[in-house]
Amino acid sequence: MMQLVLTVTAIVLSLAAVGAIIRIAVGPSLLDRVLAADVLLAIFAAALCIDMAVNRRLNNIMLVVAISIIGFVGSVTVARFVADRRETPRDS
């Protein structure tokens, strides 16, 4: 049963990663690309968490925390940058 769950989660995470990579490559705007990169980081963190659960070890917990912080800070930084650009009046 555990092998079936592991296989299903691996397939789902792989398909989600492929979708995120395609959105990073094709995304029409900067926000789409940043959101896809954040999703890709979350997928990677989820894969590490699944690996830790299967092996019953916590050896990657600091890596998961670091990935989460990097994803959060990166998303907030880009969102603030885009918000500042939209508030600035354009020269006509």
- The reported pTM is 0.84
pLDDT band, residue 91 (cuts 50/70/90): low
Task: Give residue 40's Cα distance to chain centre.
Answer: 3
In this predicted model, what pLDDT tens digit does every residue of 22-56 receive, in sequence order? Answer: 999 998 988 889 899 999 999 999 999 999 999 99
Q: Look at 7-11, 39-43, 87-91 and tell me which has the smallest mean pLDDT.
A: 87-91
Ramachandran assignment for 89, one of left (phi > 0), alpha (psi -120 to 50 degrees), beta (any other): beta
Phi first, then psi: what are they for 56, rounded to 5°?
55, 45
End-to-end CA distance of the chain: 65
Q: What pLDDT is stored for residue 6 in this prediction?
A: 93
